[in-house]
Structure 1
Amino acid sequence: MRWLPVLYVAAVLLIEPLTPVDWPVSFVLIALPLVTAFAHGPLVVGGATVFAVLLEGVLAGTPCCAGRAVGYLWDRHYVAAYVCTALVGALGTVLAAHRTHRERTLADVRFVAEIAQRVLLRPVPHRIGNLVLESLYLSAAAEARIGGDLYEAVPTAYGVRLLVGDVRGKGLLAVETAAALLGAFREAAHDEPDLAALADRVETSMNRRARQLGGSETEERFVTTVFAEIPGDGHLVRVVNCGHPPPLLLRPGEVRELNNGRSAPPLNLGVLVGEPYHVDTYPFRPGDQLLLYTDGITETRDATGAFYPLLQRLRSWGSLPPRDLLQRLHHDLLAYGRNRPQDDTAALAVGLLDDEPSAPSASAGG
């Protein structure tokens, strides 16, 4: 795009001598300022405008061009072309200034979004004891970078606690709700010895926040979540599911859903049922992987409208370490959805290495 004005002028100079007198190609130089405004700032557009007027005058006053015997430097048609070029140049300068301002504003917004994402969805540690962790996040709005899907991994005295959630709705309210949920989880994960009590405490925090916000949609501000816990002294994983797609257990030759059919309501809706949270326990052996994800993955559609076949894909890929697994999932999702994410997507993959104490010490990822 930056070389487009040069190519445009080169084309005019190449065609002008080859056309009849009645076809003055130099008139198309009127558009040069607008062509320049696509990729350059107002100063360059102003310079291109002056250059276009001068070049039009040179071509009009050169007798040899297009077989002319005399020049037409001050012919009324050419004078009109000079005036039109100047007016178009003024318009192009304004447009270039506006475009440059918008690009700077967008760059600032993206920078702020990146900072917000680092705070809200900070990278999970790549290694906690004998656990290997990787995360994936895709925003449906390319310029937003963050949305209502969330994940977290917290090493605690009770083991490594994991969270994946999906906030109902879009926009700033969803981001604010995700921030409140993550803050409540990060604080309570260190205090509550029982996973069900942790889920209940986060539910209480979200209910309190919904009441403080008020408004007509208080009851609809709910979040589907999965809480998981991998203790440091046993080969098992505990799960509390709050209306979310069940986690997947991956081991050589097997991919299955961890779903005992006891899913609780989403957060902010649990008060409507009043039942205690259920903790489901599953074996988690060395070499196993746990994949927690949001429905942005399974609701991705291809050109025919078919949903993304997550389990089928995972079974066809075989055994992959967490990083390779999420990288392949990322590329496959983009290819399946034609490079247009249709919803926010988050995923967290956790692999268990050979036996060593799964201590809560963590090494942060880059």
Structure 2
Amino acid sequence: MGEERRRGAGRGVDAVGRAVFGSPDDTGTSGSRGSRRFVRMLPALLIVGGLLFDSLAPTNFTAVPLFVAAPLIAAPFFSLSRTVRTGIASVLSVIAMRLSDGTSTRVVPVIEMLTVLTTAVLAVFINGVVRRGNEQLASARVIAETAMRAVLPTPAERIGGLQVAARYEAAQADEFVGGDLYAVADTPYGVRVVVGDVRGKGLGAVEAVAVIIGSFREAAEQERSLEGVAQRLERALAREGTRRYGLDAMEGFITAVLAEIPPGATSLRVVNRGHPEPILLHADGALEVLAPSVPALPLGMDLGAWPDRADVWEMPPGATLLAFTDGLSEARNADGVFYDPAARLRGRIFPGPEELLSALTDDVRLHTGGRATDDMALLAVGRPAEGQPVRRTTVPIVGRGDGPGEG
């Protein structure tokens, strides 16, 4: 009897291999490594292990729990067809075992076969629920990405005679909904920009971003001063907070930095509302950290009237203004060291804003080892040097060895 069971188990192993694995393309192993490959093989391994166990173990031991587990494991990870094949393989394996040992008509083996069959049907149902959930999640991600791209469109490369580049880097590759923002507007008063960070994430943060961006575009055209633009943003948040029964519905507060580059001048005006300090890079590699003369609270913090004050800086030809959110300045390496953009950029020379942002994002990934924990928005506005052609080459900023987190 034991010999017959072992021969039946051998035939069952071959059947399981064909039923569960299918053709080589069906297994998907060409793009699977490590744990993913193990998960793909686990249902078949359980069935094969159950057959071997049943053929070698004493008759009072059963491997039915392994056959029950196989389709349940396949349900959330495999396609419908593979889940069905796994369930069929489990049922056929139990039937083959009981036929080989001549116990198929007894009460306990019949209950075992019915149990595995019921589990296989349940696995198909679970697979359908998981697939519908995945489809809804994919649809939500597409909607979120579309919303973010509509709210934060990529600015033109040249605005008001200045070179412009912007980046939005999500902390997770498949996440698109965040609270970081940027906008550029060519106005009668010069090129005006805003970079900000909403407290929180999700659709609530996107709503707050939309309010700020919409208010900024209107105020940038109408307000004569940069301080007036900041006050308009403050009033817009207060108005939306009232309409939504409290600022918590609008994510509470927003840090922001606003800048204005007047036409025909080499000056730069900056209003900082609790935001990371922007950096001004000069054509010779020198840089300035544009710290505000008077610290100010973020937008939306209802703690009384707050007079805005714009600081004025010189922005000669060849200089580039770099504004960013705290996803850059608070990026950490494996030792917990924060990324210091000023230290990493000092002494570097870039052909233009696009090259600057490309090199900067690459350097942040190197610093963090690709383990970013927060989204970041980057905006660079450059005043072209006299007679400087617009080039498109990438200049690396890594390997200098004098910034934090080197190596």
- TM-score (norm: length of structure 2): 0.73
Task: Look up the match of 1:272.
Answer: 304
- Equivalence for 1:297: 328
Q: Which moved more, 1:303-312 or 1:91-100?
A: 303-312
CA distance in 1, matches of 2:365, 2:197: 20
1:170 positional shift: 4.1
Superposition map of 1:310-329 within 5 A: 310-315=341-346, 318-319=349-350, 321-329=352-360
> Residue in 2 aligned with 1:343?
374
Amino acid of the structure 2 residue aligned with 1:208: R
Q: CA 1:123–1:220 in 2, change beyond 3 Å: closer, same or farther?
A: closer
Q: Which residue of 1 aligns with 2:185?
A: 154
Query: 2:10 maps to which residue?
Result: none
1:131 alignment counterpart = 162
Of 71, 76, 97, 1:38 maps to 76
SS at match of 2:228: helix
> SS where residue 341 of structure 1 aligns?
coil
What is the match of residue 65 of structure 1? none
Aligned counterpart, 1:363: none
Contact 2:189 2:263 in 1 (8 A): yes
Choose 297-306 or 336-345, whichever is displaced more: 336-345
What residue is the counterpart of 1:49 in the other structure? 87
1:30-82 Cα deviation digits (max 9, x unpaired): 333123213334454234322321243235435xxxxxxx6555466654442
Q: 2:402 maps to which residue?
A: none
Compared CA separation, residues 59 and 297, structure 1 to 2 (3 A): same
Mapped pair 1:259 → 2:297: no
Once residues 349 and 307 of structure 1 are traced to their aligned partners in structure 2, the CA distance between those partners, rounded to angstroms, is 21
Go from structure 1 to structure 2 and tell me whether the alpha carbon gap of 1:44 and 1:203 turns closer, same or farther (over 3 Å shift).
same
Counterpart CA distance in 2 for 1:316 and 1:79 is 79
Q: Give 1:104 deviation, angstroms.
A: 0.8
Question: Matches of 1:115 and 1:219 in 2, distance apart?
Answer: 21
Q: Is 2:392 the counterpart of 1:353? A: no
User: SS where residue 189 of structure 1 aligns?
Assistant: helix
Alpha-carbon distance, 1:258 to partner: 1.4
- The 1-side partners of 2:217 and 2:319 are apart by 25
The yes-or-no answer on 1:229 pairing with 2:260 is yes
Q: Which amino acid is 1:259 matched to?
A: A
**Partner residue, 2:56:** 20
> How far apart are the structure 2 equivalents of 1:100 and 1:218?
33
Structure 1 SS opposite 2:240: helix
Query: Are residue 198 (structure 1) and residue 229 (structure 2) matched?
Result: yes
Which amino acid in the other structure matches residue 272 of structure 1? G
Work out whether 1:109 is the aligned partner of 2:140.
yes
Conserved? CA contact 1:42–1:96, under 8 Å: yes
Q: 1:97 Cα shift?
A: 1.6
Alpha-carbon distance in structure 1 between the residues aligned to 2:84 and 2:74: 9
Q: Does 1:178 pair with 2:214?
A: no
Q: Is the 8 A contact 1:203 1:270 kept in 2?
A: no
What does 1:62-77 correspond to in 2, within 5 Å? 62=100, 73-74=104-105
Distance in 2 (CA, whole Å) between partners of 1:16 and 1:202 is 69
The percentage of aligned residue pairs carrying the same residue is 33
Question: How far did 1:129 drift?
Answer: 4.8
AA at the equivalent of 1:20: L
* Rounded Cα–Cα distance in structure 2 between residues aligned with 1:171 and 1:122: 18
Deviations 1:97-155 (A, max 9, x none): 22112101111110110111012111122222542222222345766522222111112
**In 2, are the aligned partners of 1:5 and 1:32 still within 8 Å (CA)?**
no
**Cα distance in 2 between the residues matched to 1:17 and 1:89:** 21
- Mean alpha-carbon deviation: is it higher for 323-332 or for 17-26? 17-26
State how far apart, in whole Å, the 1-side matches of 2:317 and 2:72 are.
Answer: 63
Measured against aligned partners, the alpha-carbon deviations of 1:158-188 in whole angstroms (never above 9, x if no partner) come to 2221100122344444332221111100111
Counterpart position of 1:359: none
C-alpha contact (below 8 Å) 1:219/1:269 kept by paired residues: no
Check the 8 A contact 2:47/2:90 in 1, yes or no: no
* 1:360 counterpart residue number: none
Greater Cα offset, 2-11 or 306-315: 2-11
TM-score by length of 1: 0.80
- Output one character per residue of 1:275-313: Cα deviation in whole Å (capped at 9) or x when no partner: 3x3222222233321110112221223333332222222
- Give the drift of 1:16: 5.1
